[in-house]
Structure 1
Amino acid sequence: MPKNTNYKSALKHPIFKIISQAAENLNLESYVIGGFVRDFLLDRGEPKDIDIVAIGSGIDLATEVSKLLPNNPKIQIFKTYGTAMLRAFDLEIEFVGARKESYTEDSRNPVVENGSLEDDQRRRDFTINALALNLGEANFGDLVDPFNGIEDLKQQLLQTPLDPDVTYSDDPLRMLRAIRFATQLHFKIEPKSLASISKNKNRIKIISKERIIDEVNKILLSEKPSIGFALLHKTGLLPIIFPQLTALEGIEEIEGQKHKDNFWHTLEVVDNISENTDDLWLRWAALLHDIGKAPTKKFHKKIGWTFHGHEFVGSKMVYKLFKQMKMPLNDKMKLVQKLVLMSSRPIVISDENVTDSAVRRLVFDAGNDIEDLMTLCEADITTKNPKRFKKYHNNFKKVREKIKEVEEKDHIRNFQPPVSGEEIMAFFNLKPSREIGIIKEAIKEAILEGEIPNEYEAAKAFMLKKGKKLGLKSVG
């Protein structure tokens, strides 16, 4: 439902008067269009991106605006698309000449020719993104809405200005944008439009992986990502984009024994973690934490369904998926891999009788990512049984307390051996050799098992004892 109806008040920022003056100087009509107008009407805060349409040359208008602005900001010109962009007042402003578009079947890059404002609005993805405000001096702030986008805002509806088959086939990325907007705005996709996405789903294959991931990331960063992933699933886009996820769907029953539906469970986990963090990569870890379950699923007569090693298999799949989708193969990917690999570890040690050594090993292996790991594991609790839900959360609370207690006492996080390799070499008059590694590993294990405290003197005494067992002589 539009919250702002005084359209002229959307244009109170001084940049709009400057654009209006520049257009007057060039004898052009100009309009602000798209997301800026939509978000103003929905009272979604002040956007930092502004799209301006000129009936004429957008590049000429950008050039004239730059002349009128303090310090004459530099213009970026994209001649292929007839667009220009400049930055002013912490805003990114893009200028384009009104245009008509036509598409070929194998590309989302259109053949462009000059057109009217309505031609330009017609080529927009959705009616709510085709709303325009006049920047002309005589009609400053007047709304231009040929496709009744205001009514769609009121109805919280996403529909296309043209026949959806044309809109989605021309630029298949718009199918993902429809789902992304439905997720972000909590809007419904108009039924004919939703059916058209299913019909045109295979067209998504012409879209670059980078563009797809950009939209998926926006869905993941929304308040309730499951809305978007359920729509991707319903329309048939998800098995094309991420078959690894849809492979998790379904409940199989053999001899009366079932397993849970790991796909819908995953979406619950993503929603749960989204209530506690805006970190994109933690949300990716939640989305992928069970992907190893499909290839490791087995039924055994004695014990039922198992998914042995799914964390290890899943962590390997993370790398392949990131590579396949042209996502960053850097520390972000490594964090997701690590969290997937360790996703069951805190669950295993959440038993009341957990030992200090098990907690030390968890902290040692997780390092600075221990908080992220605990956040993921708590999000993984999706039971609908109130008693079990409370019990699991209480158990994790105990694990957190144990982690804090062990960390304060033993300083295991980012563990560095109290005795260095150089000292071991000096104590036993050794050159680099396997014995040094054996002693260092033994010291680490003794500390993690609680045999000795994480202190220099205790580690030194243990080193001497271990060296003696290896037949080494101390020269100290």
Structure 2
Amino acid sequence: MSAIAPMMAHDGDDVDFSLVPSLTHTQTNAMHELLRIAPVIDDLGRLFRDAGHELYLVGGSVRDALLGSLGHDLDFTTSASPDQTHDLLRRFTPSTWDIGRDFGTIGALKRAEDQEWQIEITTFRADIYRSESRKPEVAFGDTIDGDLVRRDFTVNAMAVDVTTRTFVDPYGGLGDLADGILRTPSTPEHSFSDDPLRMMRAARFASRLGFQVAPEVVRAMTEMAERIQIVSAERIQAELSGLLLTDSPRVGLDLLVSTGIADLILPELPALQLELDEHARHKDVYQHTLTVLDQAIELEKARGHAPDLVNRLAALLHDIGKPATRRFEGPKVTFHHHDIVGAKLATKRLKALNFPTQVVKSVAKLIELHLRFHGYSEGAWTDSAVRRYVRDAGDELERLHMLTRADCTTRNRQRATRLRRAYEELEWRIDELASQEELAALRPHLDGTEIMAVLGIGPGRVVGEAYAFLLEHRTEHGPVAHDEAVELLRRWWADRGER
């Protein structure tokens, strides 16, 4: 077995393994993390060893341990068959599942020393991909080296023998981790032919880890971009979502665009690279979009939100209606109604990628509303206009705040300050009205049941019309007392009868 060195002695004492002399800090990270998970891996390793099987901590778990960021999800690979693994795990913990058995994976949940660990153990793999296939033909292997060479990148193709604490690195992942480079264990052409989704994974890891993608990998991505089309929409959607939820998705998105992969999975993004006319000037829409995404992520953090896929998709797609609506009017370029067109294009694309329905609806609403604020920045709004803004945003109000603020990328400091102050004023007015009128729960003065009781009618279309009338009155004039609302409804009903 190649590139192996002892990582830590069984009694926990550090052992020097100088594969790369400059990696002392990385070694320390790894040993610290392995000691932290010792309550799990010691017992698990003993169980598999006594049964005559090999067991390795592998892939992302080893990479993250070397980086000092190992979480509570632990990935292992083993010489044991799925059935043997399942039997052993049931002796280790009562919480097991075999939903991935057909792919050789058995899962378990283990509680140890007041911590909870999610464990997945997969039999050595030697999968085969056909040129026209979207899924691998599952085949099990018999060596750790054979398993590791099938993995996506060298930094994910390292393992630690749980029993002996021996470090296994046959493809130079440790050096690449130190150098911050993404390379494939086999040739990138062979790797991407096996599983084309790895090309998108390169973009995700470049963003997540801040690594450079090796030139030969970029070249293979460019030459083999069309092979991404055999991958299912579900897998592409999951990988794109993972990329967008990193701290710096811009790097990965740029890579997908420059290699031509985005042309095939998200063509609306590279289409934003509009040719700039030297006379009819407008900002670079593509670069503007990536800056808006950066700023939306910063606002998420500043406003105390977790990474939000809807917010990031809306930032990424908010201007995709511009290529279809670009018009030259003398020295000026216009994009009239690009918000409406963009919402429709986003809906179509996100549905094609099988994003959840609510995600699609939320992103489309934000794109459709993202220009609404500019009416406020150009002139005073009445209270009714502010209420309507809140009503139309609905549950997406906070996201609309972030998208609208992020959409300001002007280099004109005076204009940027004016827009920022205008939006701060709008948010202040929303808060003021909310405290006075329960604006966040903007509803008509009467609900459907009360409307039917006042008018003496049953359920039907008229109830909806009455509801819409009262909601519009509430938006335009603010709240009124119950008795006044009843009188308003009766007058509306009488007027309707006269017509």
Query: What TM-score does the superposition give when structure 2 sets the normalisation length?
Result: 0.84
**Per-residue deviation, 1:407:** 2.6
Q: 1:218 aligns with which of 218, 242, 247?
A: 242
Partners of 1:70 and 1:306 lie apart in 2 by: 64
After superposition, what is the alpha-carbon deviation per residue over 1:180-228, rounded to whole angstroms, capped at 9, x for unaligned?
Answer: 0110011111111111111111111111111111111111111122111
1:346 maps to a residue whose letter is F
**Per-residue deviation, 1:446:** 3.9
Gaps of 5+ in 1: none
Q: 1:314 aligns with which of 342, 358, 362?
A: 342
1:369 maps to a residue whose letter is E
Q: Tell me which residue corresponds to 2:211.
A: 187
Does residue 363 of structure 1 match 2:385? no
Partners of 1:467 and 1:26 lie apart in 2 by: 81
Q: Tell me which residue corresponds to 1:125.
A: 152
2:58 maps to a residue whose letter is I
Partners of 1:443 and 1:401 lie apart in 2 by: 26
Q: Tell me which residue corresponds to 1:459.
A: 485
Q: Tell me which residue corresponds to 1:38.
A: 63
**Per-residue deviation, 1:55:** 3.4
After superposition, what is the alpha-carbon deviation per residue over 1:48-73, rounded to whole angstroms, capped at 9, x for unaligned?
Answer: 33222223535424422432x243x3
Q: Tell me which residue corresponds to 2:376.
A: 349
1:127 maps to a residue whose letter is T
After superposition, what is the alpha-carbon deviation per residue over 1:74-101, rounded to whole angstroms, capped at 9, x for unaligned?
Answer: 3416454333332223323222333434
Would the alpha carbon gap of residues 166 and 417 (structure 1) be closer, same or farther in structure 2, given more than 3 Å must change? Answer: same
Q: Tell me which residue corresponds to 1:87.
A: 109
Contact 1:179 1:231 in 2 (8 A): yes
**Per-residue deviation, 1:150:** 1.1
2:260 maps to a residue whose letter is G
Does residue 100 of structure 1 match 2:126? yes
Q: 1:273 aligns with which of 296, 302, 325?
A: 296
Would the alpha carbon gap of residues 150 and 461 (structure 1) be closer, same or farther in structure 2, given more than 3 Å must change? Answer: same
Q: 1:151 aligns with which of 157, 169, 175?
A: 175
Gaps of 5+ in 2: 1-22, 301-306
**Per-residue deviation, 1:298:** 2.1
Q: Tell me which residue corresponds to 1:26.
A: 51
Partners of 1:357 and 1:347 lie apart in 2 by: 16
After superposition, what is the alpha-carbon deviation per residue over 1:346-373, rounded to whole angstroms, capped at 9, x for unaligned?
Answer: 2221235222221121112222322221
2:60 maps to a residue whose letter is G
The DSSP-based 3-state class of the residue aligned with 1:383 is: coil
The DSSP-based 3-state class of the residue aligned with 2:423 is: helix
Q: Tell me which residue corresponds to 2:257.
A: 233
Does residue 172 of structure 1 match 2:196? yes
1:189 maps to a residue whose letter is V
Partners of 1:413 and 1:201 lie apart in 2 by: 47
The DSSP-based 3-state class of the residue aligned with 1:28 is: coil
Partners of 1:438 and 1:287 lie apart in 2 by: 37
Partners of 2:80 and 2:341 lie apart in 1 by: 56
Query: What TM-score does the superposition give when structure 1 sets the normalisation length?
Result: 0.88
Partners of 2:46 and 2:103 lie apart in 1 by: 24
Q: Tell me which residue corresponds to 2:227.
A: 203
Contact 1:62 1:95 in 2 (8 A): no
Does residue 373 of structure 1 match 2:396? no
**Root-mean-square deviation (Å):** 2.8
**Per-residue deviation, 1:19:** 2.1
Q: Tell me which residue corresponds to 1:285.
A: 314
Q: Tell me which residue corresponds to 1:243.
A: 267
Would the alpha carbon gap of residues 82 and 422 (structure 1) be closer, same or farther in structure 2, given more than 3 Å must change? Answer: closer
2:213 maps to a residue whose letter is I
Contact 2:376 2:422 in 1 (8 A): no
Q: 2:286 aligns with which of 254, 263, 267?
A: 263
Partners of 1:284 and 1:345 lie apart in 2 by: 19
**Per-residue deviation, 1:437:** 6.6
The DSSP-based 3-state class of the residue aligned with 2:118 is: strand
Would the alpha carbon gap of residues 57 and 350 (structure 1) be closer, same or farther in structure 2, given more than 3 Å must change? Answer: same
**Deviating more after overlay: 366-375 vs 197-206:** 366-375
1:30 maps to a residue whose letter is L
Q: Tell me which residue corresponds to 1:339.
A: 366
Partners of 1:135 and 1:391 lie apart in 2 by: 60
For these two proteins, the number of residue pairs brought into alignment is 463
**Deviating more after overlay: 47-56 vs 188-197:** 47-56
Partners of 1:40 and 1:312 lie apart in 2 by: 47
Contact 2:72 2:118 in 1 (8 A): yes
Partners of 1:148 and 1:54 lie apart in 2 by: 21
Partners of 1:441 and 1:274 lie apart in 2 by: 36
2:117 maps to a residue whose letter is L
2:323 maps to a residue whose letter is A
Percentage of identical aligned residues: 33
Partners of 1:267 and 1:116 lie apart in 2 by: 44
After superposition, what is the alpha-carbon deviation per residue over 1:148-171, rounded to whole angstroms, capped at 9, x for unaligned?
Answer: 211111101110111111111111
Would the alpha carbon gap of residues 374 and 2 (structure 1) be closer, same or farther in structure 2, given more than 3 Å must change? Answer: farther
Would the alpha carbon gap of residues 263 and 88 (structure 1) be closer, same or farther in structure 2, given more than 3 Å must change? Answer: same
Would the alpha carbon gap of residues 357 and 2 (structure 1) be closer, same or farther in structure 2, given more than 3 Å must change? Answer: farther
Partners of 1:53 and 1:78 lie apart in 2 by: 14
**Deviating more after overlay: 398-407 vs 236-245:** 398-407
